[in-house]
Structure 1
Amino acid sequence: MLTEFLNAHTDDASFFFSSPTVTLLTQGIAAEFSQQVKFCELDT
């Protein structure tokens, strides 16, 4: 059911997934969260 919903709605908004701005933003967010964090900083 969820797959059918996504397939039906992503066809209309396919530009969102292929947009360079969104791709760069997503890569920036992924890079931000992939940085190493010291163990002592986890419990703040």
Structure 2
Amino acid sequence: MRIGKIFKNAITSYVTVLVVLVLLPVFLVTNDISVLQGIIESMNK
């Protein structure tokens, strides 16, 4: 029973790390795009 709980916790933490690793680059890319759009808009003014 205890082993199963440890195993479940390991899977949960592994999935959490995977989700963070997937979302972090996406967040950075969207941030970069919005920054680029802001620069382009300020250049057009």
Is the TM value for this pair above 0.5? no
TM-score (norm 2): 0.42
Structure number with the bigger relative contact order (C-alpha 8 A, sep ≥ 6) is 1
Greater helix content = 2
Larger Rg: 2
